[in-house]
Amino acid sequence: MKVGLVGRADHDNFGDSLMFAFYVKEFKKMGHEVFIVGATSIFMQRLLEQNLECQLIYLGSLNCLDKVFFIGGGYFGQPDLKVSQWSKRFIDDSFFYKISTELFLNKTPYVIYGAEVGPLDNRKVKENVKIILERAESIIVRNNSSASFIENEFDLKCAVYRDVVLGETSRYVENVENVENVENVENVENVENVENVENVENVENVENGGVLTIHATGKVLKNNLLSAIIRKKILAFVKSNEIIKVNILFDQSSFPELIPNANSFSEKINEFCSSEVILYNGLSTVLDTLKTSTHVITTKLHVGVVALSFEKYVFCISSMPKNIRFYKEVFNGAGTIRLFNIFSPFYKIKFSSFVKGTHNNENYLSSKQYIDKLNVLVGGN
């Protein structure tokens, strides 16, 4: 069978590459040919670096596919900032709508599997997303907030499976070159029953002596007041605690202009402990760094989710709806702070700000169950 994968394959980004890698690997193991719709050359290169055989396919050529999966990602939900610009791009580009329309006209079945949906304020964007969902054979989203949005706004039913990255990272890296084997991680099915994670009070309670990885994003490294305040808060945390090393980790190669600021920040950190700037060079770079960290500070979703899957301590600074939803549903809102709340002169990053991933929950969906479900959706036995 020829299986197509749709998502954010238009940029060199760790989280999206990792999600595609999961699906390519599993579908290839099932004996299917895998095609990535509309990917860039660098995106395809990252998958090939993982020894994952797949092919590029473009709009207008989708009639050769037997089934298509719209996989995980936040592409059906607006960001926290610049919503008008995002909505205009979504409508003008109409990438996902065009794919849906071509598949619909070709009578090619497709599944929404693990995508984030909502919030959406723009009427036209809502109309496009509703049509895409209505045409789908099945709708499976990655959190309860997406399901509620779909049911309330579109009067459609869907299922909820926890983010594939949370459930499959450890099993995936068992076969990734230069990454040691790690304990198998299970996936969440019912988020309401996920237990809260105990907070960490001091570094003595943490193995490996306190290796902090700072996710190198624009929110942290740009030349503006907000970024300067975030760096100041992080520096105060490093200064006042027994951190033995800090990694400043890039998860994409799209913003080289941030590297000088990362180097300057690293020099300031070196006054208190050793520090290293780690540039993005594919999935293994990020996976290796997170696996050997004890704590991670991020402003995005999947670097934090991967770290949690490795049972690390994570703190997320973000107002992105998908981030707020994740930490609210899995950790009752702990482990994160809204972006602009960081401005408060009274707020300090502490060890108790972090949450730790845990796999000891009876409601997690096992890897076998996850693979079995995928096999059923693709039309296997």
Kindly state the tokens that stand for 60.
């207008």
Task: Give the pLDDT score at 42.
Answer: 95
The distance of Cα 159 from the centroid of its chain, to the nearest Å, equals 19
Task: Give the pLDDT score at 163.
Answer: 80
**In the predicted model, is pLDDT for residue 364 greater than 70?**
no
d(CA 371, CA 352): 36
- Tokens 């003595």 belong to 204
CA 118, 56, 134, 151: dihedral to nearest 10 degrees?
-30
Query: What is the rounded average pLDDT of the residues 19-25?
Result: 94
Q: What is the pTM of this model?
A: 0.88
Kindly state the tokens that stand for 6.
């749709």
Average pLDDT over the chain reads: 87
Task: Give the pLDDT score at 176.
Answer: 53
The closest of 374, 376, 305, 381 to 24, measured between CA atoms, is 374
pLDDT digits (tens, 9 = 90+) for 156-215: 999 998 788 877 777 677 655 433 333 333 333 332 332 333 333 333 344 435 999 999
User: What's the pLDDT band for 369 if we cut at 50, 70, 90?
Assistant: low
Q: Which of 205-214, 248-257, 280-289, 329-338 has the lowest mean pLDDT?
A: 205-214
Task: Give the pLDDT score at 178.
Answer: 39
**In the predicted model, is pLDDT for residue 67 greater than 70?**
yes
Kindly state the tokens that stand for 342.
């960081």
How many percent of the chain have pLDDT more than 70?
86
Coil/strand/helix, residue 279: coil
Which domains, ranges and CATH numbers included, belong to the chain? 2-179+364-378 (3.40.50.2000), 192-356 (3.40.50.720)
CA 61, 123, 117, 319: dihedral to nearest 10 degrees?
120
Kindly state the tokens that stand for 159.
């299922």
